[in-house]
Amino acid sequence: MMRQMVTNKNRNGKLADIFHQMAGCYRYLGPEQQFRAAAYENASRTLQGLKNDISTYATDVKSLSRLSNIGSSIAAKIIEYLGTGKIMVFEKVRRKVPENLLALMNISGLGPATIKLLHEQFHINNQEDLISAIESGKLKGAKGFGEKKIENLMRSLKLFKAEQNRMLLSAALEIGTELLKMIRKINGIIMADLAGSLRRKKETIGDIDIVICAQKQDWRRIINKIKKIEQVDRILVSGDTKLSFLLTQGHIQVDIRLVQVEEHGAALMYFTGSRAHTLKLRLLAKEKGWKLNEYGLFDVKTGEKLAGETEQEIYERLGMQYISPELREGKDEIELASERKLPGLIRSVL
C-alpha cells in the first residue's frame, strides 16, 4: 500500500468541511438549532482562512480559543479530531440527516425547511431526485413552489452541478502534484505529467488529468499499481490505455492515459487542450495535407509519422513557435506564434 496522500493544509480543509456539514445538519434539524449552526459555520470560515496548519494552534483548548469564532467547545472537537481523526458529535448528528440532503443546502434558493419538506412529502433524497421531480412536473401546485420558484430552482441546480466539483488551482495543484509523485515511483514509468486545465493553470479545476509514458508491455501492471494507491476511492473506467477513478479526498476525478515514448508529445498536447487550441492546430495540419491527433502528426497520403515524441517538434513541424500551456486557449496565440513563419496562411484557416 502506498503512502497516504495527506498534507497539513488538508487538515484545515477537512475540519472546515466537517464543521460546514455540522452546520448544515443543525439547520436541517430545526430553528431551535440555528445558534449551533451559525457557530459551526463561522468556525468553518475561520479554518478555511488559516495560513498555518491548525495543529500549530492546538497546544490546548485555551490557545485554540484565541482564534476567531473558536470557542472552548469547538476547540475541544478540533483537538479530538487531531488525535483520533474523528469528531464523535459529528458522527452522531449526521445520522439524523440523510447525507445527500446536506449538499442541497449549498444550492441557492433552497433553505433547510424547504429541503425537509421535499424529503418528507416528495421523498427527494438528492439533487438527481430533485431534478427528476422538477422535470416530471411533480412539484407543480405544491405549496411554496410556484412556476417562477421552480424555474429559478432549476437554473440554480444546473449551475450548482457544473461547479460543485470544481476546486481552486492552488488546491488542485497540491493534490495533483502529490499524486504525481506517488505515480512516478512506480517501476516502468518513463515520464508522467499533469495535463488538462491544471497544466494550463486555469483558476478553477474540474478534474485532474495525467499522461503517463511507458513501454506498452508495462501498461497493465502500471494500471494495477495505481489502483492500489490508498487515496484511490472508486474506479470509474479501467481499460488498456486509460484509467479513471475518484480520490477519497473530495471525490475528485482523476483521468489517466498511457502512451508510448513516440506518442508522448502528441498525447500531452491533446490532453492538455484547450479544445479550441487543439482544433486550430488540427485545422492548420489539415491545410498542409496532414492529420494531427493524440498519437502524432501524420501525412494523410503516405501515412508517414512526421512528429509526436515532443510537443516542441509538433509546433516546429507546423511552422510555429512553442506555445506554453497557460496560453493555449484558442485563436490569438496561434496567430502570434505563426505570423513570422506563415503570414496569411493561418488566418485563412481560421
Domain ranges of the chain: 8-163, 186-259, 272-349
* pLDDT for the residue 349: 35
* pLDDT for the residue 4: 38
- Does the domain at 8-163 match CATH 2.40.110.10? Answer given as no
Who contacts 22 (Cβ-Cβ below 8 Å, separation ≥6)? 36, 37, 40, 89, 90, 93, 94
* pLDDT for the residue 330: 63
Q: How far apart are CA 10 and CA 7, in angstroms?
A: 5
* CATH class of the domain whose range is 272-349: alpha beta
C-alpha separations of 237 from 58, 242, 244, 245 in Å:
42, 7, 5, 7
Contact 34/26 with Cβ under 8 angstroms? yes
Give the single-character DSSP code of 33. Answer: G
* pLDDT for the residue 163: 63
Q: How far apart are CA 336 and CA 329, in angstroms?
A: 13
- Tens digits of pLDDT across the chain (350 residues): 333 333 444 688 889 989 988 998 998 888 889 899 999 999 999 998 888 889 888 877 888 888 999 999 999 999 999 999 899 999 999 888 876 787 787 776 777 888 888 888 888 888 778 888 888 888 887 877 888 878 878 777 766 665 666 788 999 999 999 999 999 999 999 999 999 999 999 988 988 999 999 999 999 999 999 999 999 988 988 999 999 998 988 778 899 999 999 999 999 999 999 999 999 999 999 999 999 999 999 999 999 999 999 999 999 999 999 999 999 986 555 554 554 444 443 333 33
Name residue 57's amino acid: Y
pTM of the model: 0.55
CATH of domain 186-259: 3.30.460.10
* pLDDT for the residue 346: 37
Contact 254/208 with Cβ under 8 angstroms? yes
Dihedral angle computed from the Cα positions of residues 315, 316, 319 and 323, in that order, rounded to the nearest 10 degrees = 40
Q: How far apart are CA 262 and CA 260, in angstroms?
A: 6
* pLDDT for the residue 332: 53
Q: In what order do the strands lie in the sheet with 290-293?
A: 290-293, 296-299, 305-307
- Three-state secondary structure along 104-133? HCCCCCCCHHHHHHHHHHHCCCCHHHHHHH
* pLDDT for the residue 5: 39
